[in-house]
Amino acid sequence: MKLRLILGDQLNINHRWFQEDPSDLIYFMAEMRQETDYVKHHVQKIVAFFKSMRAFAGKLEKNGSKVVYYQLDDASNTGNLTKNLLQLIDQYKITHFEYQLPDEYRLDQQLSTFCDQLEISTRSYSTEHFLTDRKDLKTFFEGKKTYLMESFYRMMRRKYDLLMDGDQPITGKWNYDGDNRKKLPKKHEVTDPKLWTENVQEIVEMLDKVGVSYFGNIDPNNFVWPTTREECIKLMEYFNTKLLPLFGAYQDAMHTDEWSLYHSRLSFGMNAKLISPLEVVQSAIGQWQNNQDDISIAQIEGYVRQIIGWREYMRGVYWAHMPEYAEKNFFNHNRKLPSWYWDGNTKMNCLHHAIQQSLDYSYAHHIQRLMITGNFALLAGIDPDELDQWYLGIYIDAIEWVEITNTRGMSQFADGGIVGTKPYVSSANYVHKMSNYCDSCHYDRKLKTGDRACPFNSLYWNFYDQHEDKLVKNPRIGMMYRTWAKMDGEKKSDMLKQAAFYLDHIEEL
């Protein structure tokens, strides 16, 4: 008898495994404490994975496969992957074990070590989901100190013939990022997001019964996230027809009244492998091709770039640099994460809103993560370890291969420039430019010092002052240091004192 393991983020029904005769094999899936407890997760994230796994197991059984499925509270469930596997191998007299390569380093190591110690034959498979292999990006950038995403993205466009005319982009222009930075206009009516209203009371009650520690909010009678392939396809189709026409223009916008805007919110479905990145971009391109009067090239190009460019790129960086990547701390930041990151109780409206939204939906889009919560953390010198734990726990789509590269690389510049060519920091000006957060804030975005001065302003210049030795030669931020050098000495001193005060009283902000 053959045993095959399916992890919670390997729900790809189109995998070659499921085209074979299932008569001589058992599939094993399990909800485990090792996964709920290695970091404190948002309750909606746990529920989404468990609900998706249960539905997937049911689909396999309906198709004639034998599935052993351990719910979290099953008496047979040890809560540990290797212990569960050993138990099943003995119980069913397994002679051969197979698994799909995990996307997280810790699980990859756990299974590799486990297989080395087994006395039966084993085999690993690709998940058949990503458009690149683990080591492709490292090979592509062989000999380079930095990994320029744009060149990788162009290679991917050519390889998969997406928005191409031969080996050149169809319009002669590769990237429309400059057209994708618009603030939401006043009185603009945003298209409502497509939501589900599933009852997940049973799963939440199980989590409470066994004592899983989680955070975040949930309405057990109205769970809004898609958790099957069929639901993900419906969400994809809704995005293509209703949201894609304005996606690119407002993908960086933020607003207190809107949590989803024109984003597809397919990241959980893709990261759980319920739906593939190639079918997502091809379906969107098909929609654009048939509706070019309504959908400009800037909308579709920005979407394709995020998925076949950025997503694949981040996974490549992860496998090129783990496990060392998890230790990188270029600025030697060591301040603890403020407690209000866990409850949203801060007077800074941008942070309050981005965090509260994350607690309510287990979701925030990339600019909220990068330029609000990430921006403040970098300016405040938060320990990347603490921030990793928060980002990995709070977001429904957060799996380490994509979370840690975005956090330590793009957001915190903790990798020293492998991912980003400069630190992504800003003062209040950027927040005001891209959102309405500043309109109703306790702090004044125009003030740099004083009781009501926006903390982002003084912390911004304090960051550059503190790290001049590491950043002054960076060609992309030389202008900042020239501006800082020209600033009046007393003004600079007052700004640094203001920043020091805010950092000393960070819990009160």
- The string of pLDDT tens digits covering residues 94-111 is 999 999 999 999 999 999
Q: Tell me, which fold does domain 339-508 have in CATH? A: DNA Cyclobutane Dipyrimidine Photolyase, subunit A; domain 3 (1.10.579)
Q: State residue 253's pLDDT score.
A: 95
Report helix angle 105-117 to 81-91, nearest 10.
Answer: 40
Average pLDDT rounded to a whole number, residues 321-349: 97
pLDDT in tens, 351-371: 999 999 999 999 999 999 999
Query: What percentage of the chain reaches a pLDDT higher than 70?
Result: 100
pLDDT in tens, 380-436: 999 999 999 999 999 999 999 999 999 999 999 999 999 988 999 999 999 999 999
Q: State residue 20's pLDDT score.
A: 86
Question: Is residue 361 within 8 Å of residue 259, measured between CB atoms?
Answer: yes
Per-residue pLDDT band at 500 (split at 50, 70, 90): very high
pLDDT at 334 over 90: yes
**Strand pairing class (214-215; 168-169):** unpaired
pLDDT in tens, 6-51: 999 999 999 999 998 888 899 999 999 999 999 999 999 999 999 9
For domain 2-125, which architecture applies? Answer: 3-Layer(aba) Sandwich (3.40)
Domain regions of the chain by residue span:
2-125, 136-321, 339-508
pLDDT in tens, 139-148: 999 988 778 8
pLDDT at 179 over 80: no
pLDDT in tens, 44-82: 999 999 999 999 999 999 999 999 999 999 999 999 999
Average pLDDT rounded to a whole number, residues 479-483: 90
pLDDT in tens, 299-311: 999 999 999 999 9
CATH of the domain spanning 136-321: 1.25.40.80
Residue with structure tokens 């945003």? 190
Q: How far apart are the first and last CA of the chain?
A: 60
Q: State residue 55's pLDDT score.
A: 98
The 3-state DSSP class for residue 335 equals strand
**Strand pairing class (164-165; 214-215):** unpaired
Q: CA 318, CA 419: separation in Å to the nearest integer?
A: 10
Q: State residue 478's pLDDT score.
A: 86
